[in-house]
Structure formats: structure tokens, C-alpha cells
Structure 1
Amino acid sequence: MFSGLVTGKAELAEIKKQGHTMALTIKTTPDFLTGAKIGDSIAVNGCCLTAEELTPNSFTVTMMPQSFNKTIFKDSQVGDQVNVERALAAGGRFEGHIVTGHIDDTIQLLKKKVNENALELTFDRPKRLKKQLISQGSVALNGVSLTIMQAKKGKFSVGLIPHTQDETNLSKLETGDYVNLETDVIGKYVEANLK
């Protein structure tokens, strides 16, 4: 389980594709990997993956076909910046919101606008997820915990404060780019049990 508070800057150092499976080597800082071990869960752009190899400043994960097909990684390139987060430690401070690392869909950036110190991003809202993406609700985009400012007419918007702009890859997005989307897990269960 994760909180959606990105804790490290990283980049894709190597990509090995074979059909719809791929291995990613992610270069990061030694601080980020302090205490990490083989088998740990690490969120990469919001996708929960298992560390299979570790060096002092990198880790390697393997993605199965389901994750490959459901995420933005199929279009990734060496050098891309990715958001990374280690799994939550029991007894630690819990901020952000509950993020499982299970991607629901990829969505497209429709509009990017500066509003004083904030960067407002507007994305398409998949029809099947409409009830899980509500104004003032929580959402994870590329693993970043955000509050939905407004949701209506097939789209929704989020705002990035300066810290989020500096610490994540979201501010680098251009109109037409795709991100990994995870809706709020509580909303999923509420919707499932009201059907």
C-alpha cells in the first residue's frame, strides 16, 4: 500500500521488451533505496511493482502482460522521468490517500493552464469510472495523490502546487500525453456495493 506522496526522482535507465512483458531498470538515489531488499514493492508512476534486482542506485522490475497493456509503460523510453514511492511502513505517518498501485486506466491530458502559483491539468474522464471520479474526491495520477477540483462532462481537473510541480513528472506533461490513473479504492467498494 502507498500514500501517493512521491518520495524520489528517478528515470528509466533500461527497458527490455519481449512481446507484452518488459523489464525496467530505474535509476534513483541511494537515499531512496536505503534499506530496500529484493521482493519489496515499489510504485513506479503509480504501478505497484516488485524489485527483482538492486544496486546502490537502481532497481529492476518485471512487468507482466496485464500491466503492460493497462499502463503507459508500453510507450515509455529510456531517459523518461518516473515518480517512485516505497511501500508504507507500518506505524509511520499516513498522508495523501490510500493508493494500492493497481492502475485502472490510462487517460489523456486535455488542457494545461497556469493559475497564479498553481498548474491546472484537465484530463478525460472514462465513462466507466465516472462515479469514482468526483469533485473533491481523491485520485492518483502517475502515482501522485491529488484532489479533484472539478469533475463534469466527461473530464476532470486537478491542481498542482509548486512543490508537486517540482517533485513529480506531472508538470512536464504536454497536451495529448497519457498518465496512469488509479481511482480511490474506497469509492470503488462503495460503488460495487451499491449496485
Structure 2
Amino acid sequence: MFTGLIQEKGRIKEIRKQSRTIQLTCSASEGLLADYQIGDSMAINGTCLTAIAKQATTFTVDIMPETFQRTTFKQLSVGAEVNLERAMAATQRFEGHFVAGHIDVTTRLIQKKQLEKALILTFAYPVSVQGEIIPQGSIAINGVSLTVTQTTAQAFSVSLIPHSKDQTTLGQLKQGEWVNIETDMIGKYVKYQRK
């Protein structure tokens, strides 16, 4: 379980592809990896992955075909920055929102504009998650816990404060770039209970 509060940005150091399955090595600070062990979870751009190897400032994960197909990992290249969050400890304060690290869909950034101190990001609204993205609801974009500020039939928007813009990779997104989306877990249960 994760909170969507990014701990730091890492960088992709190596990608080894075998058909649709890849092994990915990512850099992180010694502090973040100090007690991180093989078998522990790390959310990379919102995707929960398990460590298969670890050094002082790098860790390696396997990405299976299902994950590869459902996420933006197939578009990542060596040197790309990614959002990192370790799994939540039972003893820590819970902030953000419940994030499982299971990506529902990917979508594209269609507009980026500054509004005073806020950075407004607008994304295409994927039909497959209709009813799961609502105004003032929670959403995780590349693992970042955000509040949906506006929705239409074709798009939804979020607003980044300067801290979120600077401490995550979202401020660097370019129009047309793809992101991982995890809709609100509670909203999904409500939607599927109505069926």
C-alpha cells in the first residue's frame, strides 16, 4: 500500500529487455535505500514493483508482460527521471490517499498552463475509467496523489502546488506525453457495487 506522496525522484540507469518482459535498474538515494531489502516493494511512477537486487544507490526490479502493457514503462529510456515511493509502514502517518500501485490505464497530457502559483495539467479522459474520476476525488498520476479539480466528457484536470511541481516529475511533463493513472480505490468499489 502507498500514499501517493513521492519520496524522491530517481533515474533509470539500465533497461534489459527480453521480449515484453524487462528488468529495470533505477538510482535512488542511500537514505531511501538504507533499509530497503530484496523482496521489498517500491512504486516507480505509481507502479508497485518488487526488488530483485539492491546496491547502495540502485535497485533492480522485474516488470512482467501485463505490467509492461498497462503502463508507460514501454516508453521509458535510460536517463529518464521517475517518481519513487516506498511501501507505507504500518506505523507512519497516513497522508495522500490509498494507492495500491496497480495502474488502471495510461493517458496523455493535453494541456499545461500556469495559473498564478498553480500548474494546471489537463489529461484526456479514458473511457475505460468512466465514473471513477470525479471532481474533488482522488487520483494518482505517475504515483502522485492529487485531487481532480475539473472533469468533462473528454478530459480531467489537476492543479499542482509549487512543491508537487518541483518534487515530482509532473512539472516536467510535455503536451502529448503519456502518464500512468490509478483511479481512487474507494470510487472503484462504489462503481462496481452499482453494477
Q: Shared fold (TM-score greater than 0.5)?
A: yes
Give the corresponding residue for 1:179: 179
Give the corresponding residue for 2:99: 99
What is the TM-score of this pair, normalised by structure 1?
0.99
Give the corresponding residue for 2:142: 142
Matched residue type, 1:121: L
Q: Percent identity?
A: 50
Deviations 1:1-32 (A, max 9, x none): 00000001200000011111001100111011
Shift of 1:193: 0.7
Q: Is 1:84 the counterpart of 2:84 in the alignment? A: yes
Deviations 1:151-170 (A, max 9, x none): 11210000110000111000
Q: In structure 2, how many angstroms separate the alpha carbons of the residues matched to 1:18 and 1:150?
A: 41
Equivalenced residues, count = 195
Q: Is 1:31 the counterpart of 2:17 in the alignment? A: no
| Aligned ranges 1:1-195 → 2 under 5 Å | 1-195=1-195
Q: In structure 2, how many angstroms separate the alpha carbons of the residues matched to 1:151 and 1:27?
A: 36
Deviations 1:20-58 (A, max 9, x none): 100110011101112111100100000000011000101
Shift of 1:140: 0.1
Matched residue type, 2:142: N
- RMSD of aligned Cα (Å): 0.6
Instruction: Please give the secondary structure, in 1, of the residue aligned with 2:130.
Output: helix
Shift of 1:128: 2.1
Q: In structure 1, how many angstroms separate the alpha carbons of the residues matched to 2:189 and 2:54?
A: 35
Deviations 1:131-188 (A, max 9, x none): 0000000000000000000011210000110000111000110000000000001111
Runs of 5+ consecutive residues of structure 2 not aligned to the other structure: none
Runs of 5+ consecutive residues of structure 1 not aligned to the other structure: none
Instruction: Please give the secondary structure, in 2, of the residue aligned with 1:131.
Output: coil
Instruction: Please give the secondary structure, in 2, of the residue aligned with 1:15.
Output: strand
Q: Which runs of 4+ in 1 moved over 4 A?
A: none
Deviations 1:55-114 (A, max 9, x none): 010100000000001100001000000000000000210000000000001000000000
Instruction: Please give the secondary structure, in 2, of the residue aligned with 1:97.
Output: coil
